[in-house]
Amino acid sequence: MKVGIIGTVWGRIHCGTFRQAGCEIAALVGQDAAKAAAVAEAEGVPVGTNDLAALDDCDVIVIASPTATHVEYLDRFKDKLVFCEKPLCGRVPDPAWLERLSDAQIYVNYTFSFLDSARVLAQRIRAGHLGKVHRILLQVGVNLPADKAPDEWFMEVAVHPLSFLLYLFGPFRTETLAVGQGRANVGVLLSNAEQMLDVSLYDHPLEGILIDMTVIGESATARLSGGFRVGQDWWFDPLLINGMPFTDGEYHYSEDVWYRAIRRAVRTFCEVARGERTHAEAEAIGLFGLAKAAQMETMLAPLLRDE
């Protein structure tokens, strides 16, 4: 398959992920033609340009550009296979827009479910080893060198583990929302028919991201913690069941654990594109189609600002 990539920053990552999935990277497009050409040359991509027409002959379009541009590009390439970086559009999707794209083959990259640690936790929950899950606590600390509003940090960082919970338990609805002072200070209480979910996003004192998820069931409690420090790799501590280590943790050995999870998501997408796996099979292991990705922004509607 011929792949065209939009985005010269995170898009550069996907030159590797899609090549490792057996694809040809045919073109790379960015807003700045000179930068796109330079990145394309460095990555061995034959075409680097700011002209979207360079992607018209590609089988797959990767959208790895700023969130505000996603809707425009999804409309432009709705007749292609599309792999879009999260979030879908960063605001509550227009139902009419979703209906227009309902037949499109669009997938959104929520990576968390493809981590080894998340897979083990999902297996334990689905096998009933925690009993009925009734409460989930999610704390996400962030301290990164960018100027973003609290809702933007939430959609940039907290949605990663939140997507895993949506994948496991289905969509939640927002019950209460509190946005405090500081760059990242958000508290959200969500619920569905069976679970209550407390999410806290806070300013972390150290540069990087810290994720701490506790899943409380009738029979057992599981805790998964990890993150990364700026200039270092991602890690996840051993999964704890009732306070006891159940796994050895997830650390950088041959490759960064987050990059490995992204590769798995891309490979799953490519299997769907090649007809090797159905849409339902792909979503069952964590890939987000258009409708599921839209659920994320819909359930967080009170947090998202109108644009």
The model's pLDDT over 18-54, given as tens digits with 9 standing for 90+, comes to 999 999 999 999 999 999 999 999 999 999 999 999 9
> Quick one: which of 59, 57, 70, 58 has its CA closest to 7?
70
Q: Which two tokens stand for residue 79?
A: 């007749």
Domain ranges of the chain: 114-253
Question: What is the mean predicted confidence (pLDDT) over 137-154?
Answer: 91
For the segment 51-107, what is each residue's pLDDT rounded down to a tens digit? 999 999 999 999 999 999 999 999 999 999 999 999 999 889 999 999 999 999 999
| Beta bridge mates, 212 | 139, 225
pLDDT at 192: 96
Q: Is residue 50 exposed (0-12), middle (13-18) or buried (19+ Cβ within 10 Å)?
A: middle
pLDDT at 305: 60
- CB count in 10 Å sphere of residue 11: 23
pLDDT at 307: 44
For the segment 101-127, what is each residue's pLDDT rounded down to a tens digit? 999 999 999 999 999 999 999 999 999
For the segment 168-202, what is each residue's pLDDT rounded down to a tens digit? 999 999 999 999 877 789 999 999 999 999 999 99
- CB burial readout 227-263, b (16+ within 10 A) else e: bbeeeeebbbbbbbbeeeebbeebeeeeebbbbbbbb
Question: Are the C-beta atoms of residues 281 and 107 closer than 8 Å to each other?
Answer: no
For the segment 273-290, what is each residue's pLDDT rounded down to a tens digit? 999 999 999 999 999 999
231 Rama class: left (phi>0) / alpha (psi -120 to 50) / beta = left
Residue 146 banded pLDDT, cuts 50, 70, 90: confident
Task: Write the CA distances from 136 to 1, 10, 178, 199, 272, integer angstroms.
Answer: 41, 31, 18, 8, 32
- For 114-253, CATH number? 3.30.360.10
pTM assigned to the model? 0.94
